[in-house]
Amino acid sequence: MKRILFLLIVVILFAGCATAGNSDYAQLAASGEDVFAGKNWNAPRRNNMYDRWEFNTNGTFHFVHVHEGKPLDRGMYRYEVNNGTISIVKEGEEHKTVYTCEFKGKTFTLTPVPSSSEEYRPSGGMGALPEVPVTFTNAH
């Protein structure tokens, strides 16, 4: 009986650790937690290229565009998460870009919010902030 109780406790402890390690980002974001801080996220690969956003714990992220395996620095950005949106401003600039942000499992999808007098839609091109919905995957 003691052995069964011990095994049950061990299983519960390991299950709790597994759940914490594979947290549901949607639930964490809904609770107000900054689910970006300290994590890296990759956009889908296209033509041997992809974007990688490397988030720090201080409200900034480093934008890297990877082309044929070579990282190209796109600069530092500040971000703010608020009620299902993320506002992004490149360091040294004032124009912000606002996206809705939807989490599913280990991914999130950014969808641009239509422009207003206070919001700025980025110019297109590789290595630019997204102008269309993009799904990023957690890169650990």
Q: Given its phi and psi angles, is residue 107 left (phi above 0), alpha (psi -120 to 50 degrees) or beta?
A: beta
Residue 97 lies in a domain: yes
Residue 8 lies in a domain: no
Q: Using the Cα atoms of residue 75, residue 67, residue 123 and residue 138 in order, give the sign of their dihedral.
A: negative
Question: Rounded to 5 degrees, what angle do the CA atoms 83, 32, 22 make?
Answer: 120
Residue 18 lies in a domain: no
Residue 89, strand partner residues: 78, 96
Coil, strand, or helix at residue 95? coil
Residue 17 lies in a domain: no
Helices (DSSP H) in 2-131: which residue ranges?
2-21, 25-30
**Beta pairing class for 134-138 and 107-112:** antiparallel
Residue 15 lies in a domain: no
Express each pLDDT in 70-109 by its tens digit: 999 999 999 998 888 899 999 998 888 899 989 888 889 9
**Res 9 pLDDT > 80:** no
Residue 12 lies in a domain: no
One-letter amino acid at 73 equals: D
Residue 19 lies in a domain: no
Residue 134, strand partner residues: 110
Domain count within the chain: 1
Which residue segment(s) compose the domain that 31 sits in? 24-138
| Residue recorded with tokens 């900054």 | 34
Express each pLDDT in 10-51 by its tens digit: 333 333 333 334 457 777 777 777 888 899 999 999 888 999
Question: Rounded to 5 degrees, what angle do the CA atoms 57, 84, 136 make?
Answer: 65
**Res 6 pLDDT > 50:** no
Q: What CATH number should be reported for the domain holding residue 57?
A: 2.40.128
